Structure 1
């Protein structure tokens, strides 16, 4: 700990969202002129804590002090006035404005209000850009810039406002390796000039390269704060995943259902739901070769992935969010066009073929973003359940959809999947998140798929619903369906999967057979420990 007073001290921060306690008396102390890493898995509370600091959330309890003075932060304006800036993963920019216009937006400009003169702000932007190595043309139109440069604009926006503490939320997710190095160089320059930087991240290797100290959060609490020179990547990985690397004894881990508390409980639910099923056969039933996929920002997110799956096999994919899982799932579901590669389903390469051929091959997908990608909110439950099977002969009469039949099938699905909806004509957008998930699952399983891609399928479901999903998964595999299960719940993956692979930075970096999974090794692999850049 630095001998001087801390730049930032957050004490006893509590934040609840209904019955969920996202922050449980969380603590954070950041020294002056320090790059401080804030680590933790998904749901650990790190971004929520920083949203409290930046005024996007109001804490239910606790205190915040900056340079020894307690402050009240109720809005981002309060945070900026207190010298705190934040760069989010999603940029808040107006595409048609120039870099300078975006940076000065919302600030008081020099000169009379009736005459817009950006000459002085433009010079300030150019000077800040040069001083901190954040190279950007002040006159460039933002929509013409690549994602790495747009991020620099957001950082310059905070620096222009004179902040003393800068929060960067997962800033390397969409950057190339060269851009990551440049960003870390700029962060060190900021610290040399008197700023403190908080780096929210899950990438241990980058943390060890950039940060002076690191605070690890888990379940909304601060678990440990360590100096870089007093720890190593393996020790940090153990703290993050809740494992003691000395004896390998796992701590209780709360999984996505919120009611299962450790791997034994998950295994019990799986065992009670699992019918007898044959071992996987026909190892090449699903084959993926050389898949390369770019994300929405044009950055390569999947880097030459290949896999083979048998009929009836459950292949689990473990990884921290943001390592290419979404792009990988979308590419093998036919939702996203890969740059290169092949996806063979039962001997047919479907890459580049129209959606109807993917559906005809019985590929079903339960996406991670159920609200944005899983349903059409302005359509009814019945209409959403029909999606993908609208050409099926069971619901068509004389070439048209028989809506009476479709609504009858929807009513059956509502009963079978315990969907809390006011009948088949209820709008999907009026349902809770858990019930939307049930609609998506009902639609996927109804297709009798040959390949079923599940991304966090039990998130937001209660224990009974989770058990029902497991039963449906095992019924599908017993019928020969290959299941690709992507989940952020390691216990669920271990309990369900015939094989488990880890994904890091768009590549598979580890593989384990059922019954031979070392959760410590998996946790390290997920965090990139031992992975060559």
Structure 2
């Protein structure tokens, strides 16, 4: 570094962090240049999150030094890191569901711009400047995952961050939104801000990063130049193996229906009774909040489809277009107003959640922390979740902890869940290992029908391959799968049939063998309907595809 060069934004030297039974970081060294996007990649459990928590003041290193803008620092709390201009957007969001966007953003930062009109103006200013589309008065509990992420980014910018740590920021975005985010990152960079970008999507890393650091098993194993590196080289540095592919081309689809859904309709709660001023305010933006307030708006609109034994039906859609409501209707958590659901020939439309579970429905939830795990409970208790009445968790109606523990050890072994043991809490596992535990739990009950919502969100290439293999193997044995994912390569690669959901309706279908992520992304924004490979926007019989007029229209 010559005398005229500015000091690096971040310098980490010799960072080591130990936990009982595991060394999370060992002698890590990273230099992040000011005004750049620096990608940090590595498999789950490699130590990326621990390292960023150290930089953000959430944990203290056992050894090593941190320098910000050339000055050595030691943080005891995130508050101290924020004062030095560091902001972090976590993979699992830190938002209060029962508060509005404005309340979440100003919480803890009331001294910056107050809690009223000045704060509102600042939020609007940041939202407009970076195209975040955030509405201050929206309740966070009504937001989809993508909108929650934008609130988190805004919250960090609101506090004046000059160094942004983004943990898996593209996990929930469609290609067009990813491009928009990358444009935003380039704007931030042009203004002198520094971004540390944690991701498992190696193609995106090569597209947006100026520098790349690879971490494996807690230590830095190399750096890469995105101008010359390939995804294959990065994957080999990360896990010592080639990049896995979700592609499934051998067909196992039978003509035996496993799940049949006909005419599912769900009206927004309180839609018809909303006050005029609420409706007028909500009309400002198309969001889950808007849809709830808009009179006559349907969250699910005449949804009809059939999934056969051995078939994976992929649903593509921008978050908040009815995917969550569809899952909740199929699980029985929030039954639809009208429609019929048949599982393996039995009408389960009115069946409670427990009966559906016992009847053969497996469920990988979209948010593993909120809906898939008890984070402060040990792994063997998490293995029981959702299957309390089923073997091996219970015997003759009584819980059998000994058998549950033994089976948890089997899941840990067969699904390569990296953990010191089954008595540790779920929160102590990395995100990918938490996901593998959930997949192992659900597949252990030999489901007839699996709802897989973002099954590989935030997991590394190694864990991805294992999860894909588990789903493919069960599919070969006759499992029917509803796959909902924001990863369009995953959707196209795994699915036998593809449908697009927009504003609660199935508006388009596509052949996974021929459709491109860009074509799928366009349909997800509502700009295309019908069969995506057709010359016009309608199916051959002149009806809109996806309206449920024929059961086998996409087969």
Question: Normalising by the residue count of structure 2, what TM-score does the alignment of the two structures yield?
Answer: 0.55
1:231 to 225, 229, 232: 229
Q: CA, structure 1 residues 509+306, in 2 after alignment: closer, same or farther (shift >3 Å)?
A: farther
Instruction: Return the offset for 1:343.
Output: 9.2
2:90 touches 2:166 (CA, 8 Å); kept in 1?
yes
Q: CA, structure 1 residues 418+63, in 2 after alignment: closer, same or farther (shift >3 Å)?
A: closer
1:203 aligns with 2:185: no
Task: Name the structure 2 match of 1:60.
Answer: 62
Secondary structure at the counterpart of residue 134 of structure 1? coil
1:333 touches 1:365 (CA, 8 Å); kept in 2?
no
Instruction: Specify every segment of 5 or more residues in structure 2 that has no aligned partner in the other structure, as ranges.
Output: 245-251, 265-286, 290-298, 313-318, 410-419, 427-433, 457-462, 477-482, 495-515, 522-555
Distance 2:119 2:402 in 1: 63
2:89 touches 2:152 (CA, 8 Å); kept in 1?
yes
Secondary structure at the counterpart of residue 154 of structure 1? helix
Instruction: Return the offset for 1:79.
Output: 0.7
Instruction: Return the offset for 1:232.
Output: 2.8
Cα-Cα RMSD: 5.7
Q: CA, structure 1 residues 285+55, in 2 after alignment: closer, same or farther (shift >3 Å)?
A: farther
Distance 2:72 2:425 in 1: 43
Superposed counterparts of 1:131-530, under 5 Å: 131-138=129-136, 142=140, 146-243=144-241, 287=258, 334=331, 353-355=351-353, 357-359=355-357, 361-362=359-360, 373=372, 389=389, 406-407=397-398, 410=400, 413=403, 434=422, 456-457=436-437, 488=463, 490=465, 498=473, 505=487, 507-510=490-493
1:217 touches 1:240 (CA, 8 Å); kept in 2?
yes
Q: CA, structure 1 residues 103+376, in 2 after alignment: closer, same or farther (shift >3 Å)?
A: closer
1:437 touches 1:457 (CA, 8 Å); kept in 2?
no
Instruction: Return the offset for 1:505.
Output: 1.4
Instruction: Return the offset for 1:4.
Output: 4.5
Task: Name the structure 2 match of 1:31.
Answer: 33
Instruction: Return the offset for 1:137.
Output: 4.3
Secondary structure at the counterpart of residue 235 of structure 2? helix
2:13 touches 2:64 (CA, 8 Å); kept in 1?
yes
Q: What do residues 16-39 of structure 1 show as CA deviations (whole Å, max 9, x unaligned)?
A: 221111212222221111111222
Instruction: Specify every segment of 5 or more residues in structure 1 that has no aligned partner in the other structure, as ranges.
Output: 249-280, 316-321, 393-402, 420-431, 439-453, 460-465, 512-529
Q: What do residues 365-410 of structure 1 show as CA deviations (whole Å, max 9, x unaligned)?
A: 79896996468999x98xx7996549x9xxxxxxxxxx99655x83
Distance 2:227 2:151 in 1: 32
1:54 touches 1:75 (CA, 8 Å); kept in 2?
yes
2:19 to 14, 17, 20: 17
Secondary structure at the counterpart of residue 109 of structure 1? helix
Task: Name the structure 2 match of 1:85.
Answer: 87
Secondary structure at the counterpart of residue 173 of structure 1? coil
Task: Name the structure 2 match of 1:72.
Answer: 74
1:83 touches 1:162 (CA, 8 Å); kept in 2?
yes
Distance 1:504 1:373 in 2: 18
Q: How many residues align?
A: 406
Q: Which shifted more, 11-20 or 192-201? A: 11-20
Distance 2:335 2:193 in 1: 41
Instruction: Return the offset for 1:82.
Output: 1.8
Q: CA, structure 1 residues 334+186, in 2 after alignment: closer, same or farther (shift >3 Å)?
A: same
Distance 2:331 2:436 in 1: 19
Q: CA, structure 1 residues 411+25, in 2 after alignment: closer, same or farther (shift >3 Å)?
A: closer
Distance 2:29 2:137 in 1: 41
Distance 2:43 2:154 in 1: 28
